[in-house]
Structure 1
Amino acid sequence: MTPEPEQRTTPQPKQPTPRRFGSRALRTHIGTIAGVAILGALLWRLGTGVLLDGLRRIDTVTLLVALGIGVVTTVFSAWRWQLVARGLRIRLPLGPAVADYYRALFLNAALPGGVLGDVHRAVRHGQSAGDLRRGVKAVVLERVAGQIALTVFGAAVLLTLPSPVRDDVRTFAAPTALAAAGVLAVLLAVRMNRAAARRGGALRRGLGEVREGLLSRQAGPGVALSSAVILAGHVAMFVVAARVAGSAASVAVLLPLAVLALVAMGLPLNVGGFGPREGVTAWAFGAAGLGASSGVTVAVVYGVLSFVASLPGVVVLVARWYTGLRGYPSTAPEPSADVSSAKIAPNDSVRLASSSFPFSADPREGRPMTPDSV
């Protein structure tokens, strides 16, 4: 008896899994959406007059002052970045660091989220230095140094000078400090319970990099000095914006308000830098009796001046693009005939990628470059 032929069934194509509508896009642009919502609510509440009034008050002298403050803060920011990178044993010349910091500032101001410029310089510096992890960590530690300076200065100002939040800060300062200490203790306990080999390597390496990048004798004093100068520049820019907006409040009154605005600017919930800064400044000026509309005007002027201070980054982008179009002279010796094409291909791909507009840079040793996409 012959067996029946096996019946072959044609496999049915898999039905595509339905995607959740806009879930990924929503997560990606949640900061921009929040910034637009905050700014829209302010304009609906206070009208567009405060925005236009702030723009009308800006003159040429004010723009030149903003550019001058921007030069000081950018050079010291690049120096701080160089010190941290040197502590992590990554080469970073000061000149290219200044140029790439300007480029990062412009991208932070022009692109949604306010942090893509920092991602920019972190990735490309790591790639050009041959160590992506340390390149990214250098930028992270450099930004952490700035946040530490703002935290220390802000706590001192908000605890001592009159402000709408002084009583609240005094009330919650001790519990917050205890809570932070408790969280740190829990994290350390969790790390201590891990395997000895894993715990020792990762923890020692991380703490060592923080110590060498921020707290060493070579980097520590320079990082502290540069952070103080940068913070003073941001506060000076806020005071200039307040004077341009017509506020006659003293510097002692404006300092706590400037701290609150700078803290709000650290939130990645903005569109072109606008959003939480305007909302917090409007509330702070209103609570201080200076008028919420005046606060929005000051924040708008500050945003415009900060953007103007970052405009040299456009020159850097164009210059790097033009240099990439011209190509780079090869300084390496010509490969011999027995060298395989597989070894030459990566160099060719890097050369081609470096000419992509507008995110290109000179891929010389130690020079941060801009990624093809962020």
Structure 2
Amino acid sequence: MRTSWRWLAGALILAVVLWRVGSDSVVDGVRALDLTVVLWGVLISVVTTVACAWRWHLVARELGVAVAPPAAVAACYRAQLLNTVLPGGVLGDVHRGVVHGRATGATGRALRAVAWERFAGQVVQAVVAVAVLAVLPSPVRPVLPWAVVAVVVVAVLVVLALRRAPDVDTWWSSAARVVRDDVRLALLVRRSWPGVVLASLVTMAGYVATYVLAARAVGVDAPLTELVPLAVAVLVMAGVPLNLAGWGPREGMAAWVFAAAGLGAGTGVATAVAYGAIVLVANLPGVVVLLRDAAGRPVARVPEEERVHA
């Protein structure tokens, strides 16, 4: 039921945006794309997908459910495709964790590996977003301090709650211990966290580059110092799990920030639509992975000696 409400929220946001801006922006966003733009999007997606797969490989290795890089890349393409066509924007990653869990015999740890990999990427994205929005002018700058304060307060409360979890055997204390152990073993270990951070930076750079590519295709000629913070703001909002296959908050934020920047709400929506179309095409290799799975090919397992048990 909660998931359905999130999907409905995304659909409602999208409906309101289209009602206020008009459907012509959607058509403009799709028409702006040509073969050259799409090919550039595909090439950028290769880099970002490999970076995501490498981040997952590092985190999963430390949790004792190692995944080989080639298999990780294939699974990430499949997950990204499912994320772009299924409501919620995260079901592909859930599927990725479940499939890997069945292959390793540790579904719980496999799902946690995917969750922590995504969480690490979101943390790095948030830090970079704050830095970019603080340095470069944008309509988001006036509300940035309040957003930072809210995030910091929530983070402090979560840390305190985890540290003060009682040692008695309750569901909360057990969950707190799992979280503490996972963070310490998977995210903060010296041999992995630099790679996790670097992979996250590469991934975010690829997303921003794709958004700039979409904006240029639509006809936005604003300088990068103006366009990049807009792209960052839209991408941060796109991570909110209140969407319909990626649609909703992304278009809403694009309409607002582009209008506030004097570029027009319609232009913002057209750019978001072009971005979504580029991402969808770039993730089509995931179809090959799905067809392979449907054909019943065995899932590649990691050799036992390569697994590192937590």
> TM-score normalized by structure 1?
0.76
Residues 117-156 of structure 1: matches in 2 within 5 Å?
117-156=92-131
Alpha carbons of 1:104 and 1:200: their partners in 2 closer, same or farther (altered >3 Å)? closer
Give the Cα separation in 1 of the matches to 2:148 and 2:78.
40
Residue 223 of structure 1: aligned partner: 196
Per-residue deviation, 1:181: 5.5
Closer, same or farther: CA 102–182 of 1 in aligned 2, 3 Å: closer
Q: CA deviation at 1:83?
A: 0.7
Shift in CA distance, 37/205, structure 1 to aligned 2, threshold 3 Å? closer
- Which residue of 29, 44, 66 maps to 2:19? 44
Q: Distance in 2 between matches of 1:197 and 1:119?
A: 26
| Paired position in structure 1 for 2:7 | 32
Q: Does 1:232 align with 2:205?
A: yes
Q: 1:284–1:295: 8 Å Cα contact kept in structure 2?
A: yes
Quote the offset at 1:101 in angstroms. Answer: 0.6
Equivalents in 2 of 1:185, 1:60: separation in Å?
48
Over 3 Å counting, the alpha-carbon distance change for 1:174 and 1:50 in structure 2 is closer
The yes-or-no answer on 1:244 pairing with 2:217 is yes
Give the drift of 1:272. Answer: 2.8
Aligned match for 2:290, one of 296, 317, 338: 317
Q: CA deviation at 1:208?
A: 2.7
Name the structure 2 match of 1:307: 280
What residue number does 1:195 align with? 168
Task: For residues 259-303 of structure 1, give each alpha carbon's deviation from its aligned partner in whole angstroms, at most 9, with x where no partner exists.
Answer: 211112112222232111001110010111111111001101011
- Does residue 161 (structure 1) correspond to residue 136 (structure 2)? The answer is yes
Q: Say if 1:212 and 1:219, in contact at 8 Å, map to a contact too.
A: no
Residues 177-227 of structure 1: CA distance to partner in whole angstroms, max 9, x if unpaired? Answer: 662365236514651x45389988764543232222122122111111111
2:299 aligns with: 363
Identify the structure with the greater helix proportion. Answer: 2
Report the residue type matching 1:183 in the other structure. L
Mapped contact 2:162–2:180 kept (Cα < 8 A) = no
1:295 aligns with 2:268: yes
Partner residue of 1:64 out of 39, 54, 59: 39
Paired residue type of 2:62: G
Rounded to whole Å, the distance in 2 between the matches of 1:301 and 1:284 is 16
2:209 match: secondary structure: helix
For 2:159 and 2:176, how far apart are their aligned partners in 1? 15
Matched letter for residue 65 of structure 2: I
Q: 1:158 to 1:314 in 2, by over 3 A?
A: same
Give the whole-Å Cα distance in 2 for the aligned partners of 1:365 and 1:109: 27
C-alpha spacing 1:221/1:43, structure 2 compared with 1 (3 Å): same
1:336-347 to 2 correspondences below 5 Å:
none
The count of aligned residue pairs is 303
Aligned partners of 1:68, 1:55: CA distance in 2, in Å?
Answer: 19
Structure 1 runs, 4 residues or longer, greater than 6 Å off: 196-201
Instruction: Name the amino acid aligned to 2:127.
Output: V
Matched residue SS, 2:242: coil
**What are structure 1's unaligned runs of at least 5 residues?**
1-23, 325-360, 368-374
**Structure 2: distance between partners of 1:93 and 1:49:** 45
Classify the secondary structure of the residue corresponding to 2:219: coil
Percent of pairs identical after alignment?
46
The more displaced of 30-39 and 307-316 is 30-39
Please state whether the residue corresponding to 1:145 is helix, strand or coil: helix
Q: Which has the larger radius of gyration?
A: 1
1:180 aligns with 2:186: no
- Out of 194-203 and 221-230, give the one that drifted further: 194-203
With normalisation by structure 2, the TM-score equals: 0.91
Q: Where do 1:199-218 residues align within 5 Å?
A: 203-218=176-191
Separation in 1, partners of 2:8, 2:173: 42
Structure 2, gaps ≥5 residues long: 304-310
CA distance in 1, matches of 2:85, 2:178: 36
